[in-house]
Structure 1
């Protein structure tokens, strides 16, 4: 029998909301009985994606960030989306150490961190229309209703 669950969260693009987002996603993922390490991985990846939306997507302007999670059997899908600036060159943005904000002392490792901690990371972006990051994490245990 297939297990499914879904949640959606929307908040202002304020740095104070980054911690809120990662705790909410971690709590939602808890139903998959993850290890402490897996929870830490999820929180870190969500942190990076939400921070990218806030810092790069809105560039100091107030906007909205949406976090959506789906669970299908033992797989967690996390979608983080903004309506901000968008990414001009996704391939370049995903290169380790690349940052468009060196003046803010950004490390340029956000996408690399996401790719390290998640099983899949896909980025869809259009300049002027925002960015959508989809991350997938698979777990060993199956949740049963």
Structure 2
């Protein structure tokens, strides 16, 4: 994991309601912020997909039948290192290991594939999930981009 005591070169923080329409917004906001690194298109697409999965988990699982707040933080460190944190204050996850198994879903009646965490893991260099029942979940993802442009 990144040394978070190191100062970020740039960062953004957002919070928004858990409306399904805001999943698209989060993806666009993160990709727009990261364009300052001039990333490769495939890298940006992977990050957008991972963010989409993380935010969708908040919408579908954390706040199942309610609207809550989703918190998103993106930090850029030197050498193209990117840190993304997605946090909710929803229902939490009973068993994180089980939840991270491919094809596991808490919403089978909604025809969910249960691949959200697997997708995040496949597209990012590192992923860490913390959760507390009744208090919410935090997903931290990291990726080092093959930047073509030095920051500042």
In structure 1, the partner of 2:60 is 55
Equivalent in 58, 71, 78 of residue 66 of structure 1:
71
Contact map agreement 2:40 2:146 (CA 8 A) in 1? no
Contact map agreement 2:68 2:90 (CA 8 A) in 1? yes
Instruction: Give the SS at the match of 1:96.
Output: coil
Unaligned runs of 5+ in 1: none
Q: Bigger CA drift: 92-101 or 26-35? A: 26-35
- Do residues 24 (structure 1) and 40 (structure 2) align? no
Contact map agreement 2:37 2:151 (CA 8 A) in 1? no
For residues 135 and 31 of structure 1, the distance between their equivalents in structure 2, rounded to whole angstroms, comes to 19
TM-score (norm 2): 0.92
- Do residues 143 (structure 1) and 141 (structure 2) align? no
Quote the offset at 1:3 in angstroms: 6.4
Quote the offset at 1:65 in angstroms: 0.2
- Cα deviation 1:93-113 (Å, max 9, x = unaligned): 000000111001100000000
For residues 3 and 66 of structure 1, the distance between their equivalents in structure 2, rounded to whole angstroms, comes to 18
For residues 143 and 131 of structure 1, the distance between their equivalents in structure 2, rounded to whole angstroms, comes to 34
- Do residues 131 (structure 1) and 140 (structure 2) align? no
- Cα deviation 1:71-109 (Å, max 9, x = unaligned): 011111000000000000000000000011100110000
4+ runs deviating over 4 angstroms: none
Equivalent in 109, 127, 135 of residue 103 of structure 1:
109
The count of corresponding residues between Structure 1 and Structure 2 is 144
Contact map agreement 2:11 2:75 (CA 8 A) in 1? yes
In structure 1, the partner of 2:99 is 93
For residues 143 and 112 of structure 1, the distance between their equivalents in structure 2, rounded to whole angstroms, comes to 31
